[in-house]
Amino acid sequence: MKREEMKIGTSSCFTGSLEESALTPLAKAGIDYLEYTGNYVFHMRKCDFPKNAEKILETVRKSGLEPWSFHLPFSRNKLDISYTDKELRAITIVTHKTLIAAAARAGAKVMVLHPSSEPIADDMRPERMRLAREAIIELAECAEEHGVKLAVENLPRTCLTRTSDEMISLVKDTGAGMIFDTNHNLIEDNCDYINNVADAGIEILSVHFSDYYRDEDGVLDERHTLPGTGINKWNDIVDTLIARGYEGPLMYEVPSNAKNRAPEDPITADELAQNMRDVRDGKIR
């Protein structure tokens, strides 16, 4: 794929809504794809995704967008595939299977999965890795049954997959691929992470683009701000993704009320779309 051929898309975290009135400005700004995003309450109660998947798809397409991915919900206390508590882990897996089936009916092609929550103590990592891998195999099979793909996300801090070695150990030969988040690598260089995972034969199925930076105390952490506001080297990241065979859209995960924006100055759909085009075209380095 060439840079100029890349489509652009955004997580619905930008709007916080799947209503046509919220999505139409994104399409009018030139954005092509949407990732369905929300927590358990949003998906299972507010939207009732399992019941309304076809209606939601109709709304998205009527707005002028096309679904690309679905972010399975996660939480520290309720939804975690690496839980050692058997009952909670079983509930998480059943919830994910239900939503995978619904999201497939709603047109999503990639199912985004967090492999854990946090904190995870070092002495618990092997067990949490084992449990997460078992769940990934089961969920990847479920995704395949519904004609979609499961993508495991790289995560920061003490979460699982904070290094490429952990991603490889967790995902290789499970039937799943990876979604690469440019905002989550606190230990390893982004391009090194991509190359290591690709060298292991793991497919990069999607991306989450946003920027991050060190705060006034020098702490590097996820920020989810517009590319160009942080430390990422965007040309290197895009070039590396393309070189390693990535063929999906350039997907953003930036809320309109990003951390570095004043409440009275949210990011507009036009600003978001222009930033996407600038990254794609190499204008934001």
| 237-249 confidence digits (pLDDT tens) | 999 999 999 999 9
Of all residues in the chain, what percent carry a pLDDT higher than 70?
Answer: 100
Per-residue model confidence as pLDDT tens digits over 149-199:
999 999 999 999 999 999 999 999 999 999 999 999 999 999 999 999 999
CATH number at 18 reads 3.20.20.150
pLDDT at 259 over 90: no
Domain count, the chain: 1
* Average pLDDT for 202-228: 96
pLDDT at 200: 98
pLDDT at 231 over 90: yes
pLDDT at 76 over 90: no
pLDDT at 11 over 90: yes
pLDDT at 219: 93
Residue 117 lies in a domain: yes
pLDDT at 194: 98
| Structural domain of 275 | 3-280
pLDDT at 2: 87
Q: Give me the chain's average pLDDT, please.
A: 96
Q: Which two tokens stand for residue 2?
A: 């060439």
pLDDT at 232: 97
Residue 267 lies in a domain: yes
* Average pLDDT for 264-272: 96
Residue 77 lies in a domain: yes
Residue 57 lies in a domain: yes
| HEC letters along the chain | CCHHHCCEEEEHHHCCCCCHHHHHHHHHCCCCEEEECCCHHHHHHHCCHHHHHHHHHHHHHHHCCEEEEEECCCCCCCCCCCCCCHHHHHHHHHHHHHHHHHHHHCCCCEEEECCCCCCCCHHHHHHHHHHHHHHHHHHHHHHHHCCCEEEEECCCCCCCCCCHHHHHHHHCCCCCEEEEECCCCCCCCHHHHHHHHHHCCCCEEEEEECEEEECCCCCEEEEEECCCCCCCCHHHHHHHHHHCCCCCCEEECCCCCCCCCCCCCCCCHHHHHHHHHHHHCCCCC
Per-residue model confidence as pLDDT tens digits over 118-154:
999 999 999 999 999 999 999 999 999 999 999 999 9
Residue 285 lies in a domain: no
Residue 63 lies in a domain: yes
Residue 140 lies in a domain: yes
Residue 69 lies in a domain: yes
Q: Is the pTM of this model over 0.85?
A: yes
